[in-house]
Amino acid sequence: MQKDSFQKFKKLLKNSQNIAIVTHWSPDGDAMGSSLALYLFLFKLNKKVSVIVPNAYPDFLHWLPGNKQVINFQANEKKAEKILMSADAIFTLDFNSYKRLEKLGNILEKTEAPKVLIDHHQQPDDYPTLYFHDVDACSTCELIFDFIVGLGEKKLIDKKIAACLYTGLMTDTGSFRYPSVTHKTHLILSELLKTGIVPSDIHSAVYDNYSLDRLKLLGFALNEKLKMVPGCPVAYFTLTEKELSTFNYQKGDIEGLVNYPFSIKGIKVCALFNESEGYVKISFRSKGKIDMNLFARKYFSGGGHINAAGGKSTLSLKDTESKFVELVKELF
Ligand code: 5GP
Ligand code: MN
């Protein structure tokens, strides 16, 4: 855990009128929930605030309050660069290395504004000026809640901010079932519910908004593409770009797929390999103490959490699969 004092955060906020918020490549529910909650909060403090994402995010997150204000770097490079170069402070949320921003990382490297990291991933880089980092937090949204409360501004958490925070807490904990969930998670949820948000509506907005193609892709993956590593409690999927396009693949369509094999008795590690924009995107999940952050860092140019990490490979899908099947044995 590495947390700077609220005195320092207050001073920075006092001296910053133009604030930019940046989150990681392929933003998920926690990335967007935390970014938009912070955006709405800082807006209430009368700041000029921009949220910049490196690329697009799934449709099932577009209902989030503040969504319309989000700037997609891929579609608006010049505008995003201008905002970042003139920002007084830049908040970097739900990631801890510029590598997670792809090309947007090169712009961040050039900026001089102080950086505030708010994040719960393992082993942060040293780019930040101020840290609000805790690997024991179940989500970056939990940290945003703590951040607002620590600034003495809990009263500003309204229904919109609560909806954003609830979304990140829900999506990063597999709907409140992962080991990262503590009594504190539930206390925060209880506070959020007091604002009038309706949890069942948020669950529906995120999880009951998929296409028929997505469900059929899930069926295809489970039926045809699920493999076990002989002699190891490991299950994984591979998906080619062609297979994905057969099911009219849209961003977010394979989110959550990697977890399905855990419902098989005894499985300790799951993985998903899919071709994506010229490389192989990898997701790793584990149970207990098996450290996928280290594994992803060591072999697949990635990182993340102990039980959930990701990475990439520039080998072919087949060679990536062979490399994984060989190396995964060392985890047992
Ligand atoms: P997912 O498998 O859902 O894409 O990611 C699982 C976790 O690993 C997330 O917390 C995500 O931020 C992190 N992660 C995913 N891909 C990468 C990567 O390429 N590099 C690093 N450092 N972390 C990643
Ligand atoms: Mn997160």
Q: What atom in ligand 1 is closest to the CA of residue 311? A: 19
Ligand 1 neighbours (beta carbon < 6 A) = 24, 97, 100, 121, 283, 302-305, 308-312
308 Cα to the center of ligand 2, angstroms: 10
Alpha-carbon span 88 to 15, nearest angstrom: 8
| Residue 116: φ, ψ to 5° | -115, 120
Question: Which of 251, 283, 307, 313 to mutate for ligand 1's pocket (most ligand atoms within 8 Å of CB)?
Answer: 283
Under 8 Å between Cβ of 295 and 317: no
**What is the position in ligand 1's atom list of the atom closest to the CA of 97?**
22
CATH of domain 212-331: 3.10.310.30
Q: Is the pLDDT of residue 277 over 90?
A: no
Domain locations along the chain? 2-207, 212-331
Give the contacts of 231 (CB within 8 A, at least 6 positions apart): 329
User: Nearest ligand to the C-alpha of residue 170?
Assistant: 2
Pairing between β-strand 71-72 and β-strand 303-304 as defined by DSSP bridges: unpaired
Instruction: Calculate ∠ Cα 239-244-249, nearest 5°.
Output: 140
Q: Which of 21, 87, 75, 85 is nearest to 52 (CA)?
A: 21
Q: Which of 217, 165, 135 is nearest to 29 (CA)?
A: 165
Tens of pLDDT, residues 217-246: 999 999 999 999 999 999 999 999 999 999
Annotate 27-67 with DSSP letters as a single string.
--HHHHHHHHHHHHHHHHTT-EEEEEESS---GGGTTSTTG
Measured in Å, residue 166 CA sits from the centre of ligand 1 at 21
Percent of the chain with pLDDT over 70: 100
250-278 average pLDDT score? 96
Ligand 1: atom nearest CA of 297 is: 22
Q: What's the topology of domain 2-207?
A: inorganic pyrophosphatase (n-terminal core) (3.90.1640)
- Walk across the sheet containing 234-239 and list its strands: 226-228, 234-239, 269-276, 279-286, 308-313, 303-304
**pLDDT of 210 above 90:** yes
pLDDT over 90 at 315, yes or no: yes
pLDDT digits (tens, 9 = 90+) for 88-109: 999 999 999 999 999 999 999 9
